[in-house]
Structure 1
C-alpha cells in the first residue's frame, strides 16, 4: 500500500504508464533532474525533481500504470 503523501512526495500529474525510473533511494538529485518517465497518450513525459534533495523512496516500478495523484517518488 502506498504511504501517505508527504510534503516531499511527487505525484503523477496524469494517468499513464511508468516507462523508466532514473533514480533510486538514497540518490542525491538536483532541481530539474529527470526522476522518471511516464507515458501518457502515446507521449513520454519526463517527471523532474522540483528541488534539490535526496530520493527517500520510489513507490512505482517500470511498466506500472498510475492515476493522477498516485505517489511516485518521495524526495527529502
Structure 2
C-alpha cells in the first residue's frame, strides 16, 4: 500500500472538512473545501483510497502546495 499526499493548489482558509480518517474516497471526491477570495475551492482525492490523516483543522490558513491530507491507495 502506498501513501499519497493531498496538496492544495491555492492559498486559503480551510472552510469545511468533508471526510474523516478511515473514510474511503474515490478519485476526484472532495476531502475538504478551502475559502479563498470569497470563493469555495474543493480539494479532492487524486486516487481511490482510504483517508489516513487529515493534517489541518477548520479555520486554519494554508498556502499553495500545503499537504492537507494523506490517503492510502
Gaps of 5+ in 1: 1-5
What pairs up with 1:1-76 in 2 under 5 angstroms?
A: 8-76=4-72
Gaps of 5+ in 2: none
- Distance in 2 (CA, whole Å) between partners of 1:29 and 1:11 is 15
Higher strand share: 2
Q: CA RMSD in A?
A: 1.4
Per the normalisation by structure 1, the TM-score is 0.86
Q: For this pair of structures, how many residues does the alignment match?
A: 71
